[in-house]
Structure formats: C-alpha cells, structure tokens
Amino acid sequence: MKEDDTSDIRATIEQFYTPAPYSELVQDGEVLIAGVGGIGCLWALEAHSRCSNLAELLLIDADETSFEGANEANCLFLDSGGEGRGAAALPSMAIHRLRNGADSISELLERAEVLILMAGLGGGMGSGASGELAKMANQ
C-alpha cells in the first residue's frame, strides 16, 4: 500500500469518527473485566486500575491471595475444601466449582454488555473456568 492510498483512509476515518468521551458511552456495570485463576486475576487487577471508573471488576480463583489489594473487586472464591489448593491442574474441577458459585455472579453477568476475560491457560482454574464463564456470560 502506498502513502497516498493510506491518506484517503485516514481522511475517511476522521470524517466519520467523532469520539465522545468513553465515560459518556457506557453505563455502570456494562463493561466487566474478569480475571480467572492466579495470572488472570493479576492481569485483570492491572487492567482495571487503569479504568476503574469505567468498568466493574470480577476476580475468580481458588487462592485467596489473588484477591489481595482488590478493594473494588467482586471476588468469587472457588475453594471447596478450604485448603487453597486451586483446581489441581484439573479444568473439569474448575468448571464444576464455577457452576456451583454461579448464582453469586449472575447479576454482574446480566448487567454486562461487554466481558473482558483474562486467564492463563496452564491447565487449572483459568483453563477450566474461563470457558465456562464465557458461556454463562453469553446466555
């Protein structure tokens, strides 16, 4: 693509794109940043810190330390045994635990128009529960 070809594209975009402040475009709860698993929670906390007035935050993990410093977050603790062992590299266990706790986050998911889902796919909580969370949000 040549330089003069891209200038036409820029002019077209500038002509039709008149940005309004993002905060005027969304209502409370319409954007939900969700972190699933340890890494997902870290990423979601960082992302939310940059736009905390524009989005809700949901953290889901079986390790309570993932919720430290998350004063504005909705946290779903998925440790059924109370031992903080996570999903033990068993995605099916993570799915089962999320389904059991789904009632506590259903209102958040219903309000959300956009779900930004962050998870590591190493074989545990993020691998199992993130896909199930996406299905729940889509319904």
What are the structural domain ranges in the chain? 26-138
Residue 93's pLDDT is 84
Cα–Cα distance for residue pair 105/100, rounded to 1 Å: 11
Residue 42's pLDDT is 96
Residue 5's pLDDT is 58
Residue 13's pLDDT is 59
Task: List for the chain the helix, strand, coil content (%; round to 5).
Answer: 50, 15, 35
CATH tag for 26-138 (out of 3.30.390.30, 3.30.365.10, 3.10.20.600, 3.40.50.1440): 3.40.50.1440
Cα–Cα distance for residue pair 5/29, rounded to 1 Å: 41
Question: Do residues 87 and 124 make contact, with C-beta atoms less than 8 angstroms apart?
Answer: yes
Residue 20's pLDDT is 53
Between strands 56-61 and 74-77, the pairing is parallel
Residue 53's pLDDT is 87
| Low-confidence spans in the chain with pLDDT less than 70 | 1-29, 80-89
